[in-house]
Chains A and B, each alone.
Chain A
Amino acid sequence: GESVGLHLPTLSVQEGDNSIINCAYSNSASDYFIWYKQESGKGPQFIIDIRSNMDKRQGQRVTVLLNKTVKHLSLQIAATQPGDSAVYFCAEKITGGYNKLIFGAGTRLAVHP
């Protein structure tokens, strides 16, 4: 399939290093945030989520940080592996109502051995 990351900012890291991907969200009324991973030819895959009443949430090798003051999200990936190479999107949503997610522009993560 076509790459979704042709014109996106790229973060290049060495295998085993930690990665930090940043995202600025747009709506101060958003209260639920999600990070997705998208590999070439596939749809977005859920990684981790966080609500606005939290500032940090940890998963397996991933951590999401939320700073509501400056409307900023970050995704930290520990011990980055080649399989982590993909495009990463943050998405925001206003809880309740319907399922409209607003996606950020995306960042391509390239992991080098």
Chain B
Amino acid sequence: DAGVTQSPTHLIKTRGQHVTLRCSPISGHKSVSWYQQVLGQGPQFIFQYYEKEERGRGNFPDRFSARQFPNYSSELNVNALLLGDSALYLCASSYFGVTDFNEKLFFGSGTQLSVL
């Protein structure tokens, strides 16, 4: 079975541009979460979607937005890119979006975004 897949794997943008990152969850999973991982730090929560609705948002500016499609795939959009947005963007999926003993969160390999 395929795991969480993300595209593209690497991306280079310049300041002020817009970027769209894509994620396909594990088959059967209805929840997708997005995390930002700056080099040398742990991942930071950005968004969670379940059944196409936003269920949670981290402390990120409005330049960050996301959506989930009827097939449960998701897009993360970032507008007006800043140098500080350079990071590894991770997508994670789970069945119902309530991580616990009975429901693990599975991460993709991420999209490495470099803003020049």
A interface with B by C-beta (< 8 Å): 1-2, 4-8, 32, 34, 36, 41-46, 49, 51, 89, 91, 93, 95-106
CB pair B107–A43 under 8 Å, yes or no, is yes
CB pair A4–B40 under 8 Å, yes or no, is yes
Q: Roughly how many angstroms separate A44 CA and B84 CA in the complex, as a whole number?
A: 22
Least CB separation from A5: chain B residue: B40
List the count of A-B residue pairs having beta carbons below 8 Å apart: 90
Q: A4-B37, A42-B109 are in contact. Are A98 and B56 (CB under 8 A)?
A: yes
CB pair A41–B40 under 8 Å, yes or no, is no
Mask of B90-101 contacts with A, CB within 8 angstroms, 1/0: 101010011111
Tally of contact residues, B, Cβ under 8 A: 35
Q: For the A-B complex with A98-B56, A101-B35 known, give 4 more contacts whose Cβ atoms are closer than 8 Å.
A: A4-B37, A36-B107, A42-B110, A100-B58
B interface with A by C-beta (< 8 Å): 4, 9, 31, 33, 35, 37, 39-45, 48, 50, 55-56, 58, 88, 90, 92, 94, 97-101, 104-110, 112
Least CB separation from B97: chain A residue: A99
CB pair A106–B42 under 8 Å, yes or no, is yes
CB pair A45–B107 under 8 Å, yes or no, is yes
The residue that B42 contacts in the complex, of A46, A96, A104, with Cβ under 8 A, is A104
13 contacts between A and B (CB under 8 A): A1-B9, A6-B39, A32-B100, A43-B109, A44-B90, A46-B105, A97-B56, A99-B31, A99-B48, A99-B56, A99-B97, A100-B58, A103-B42
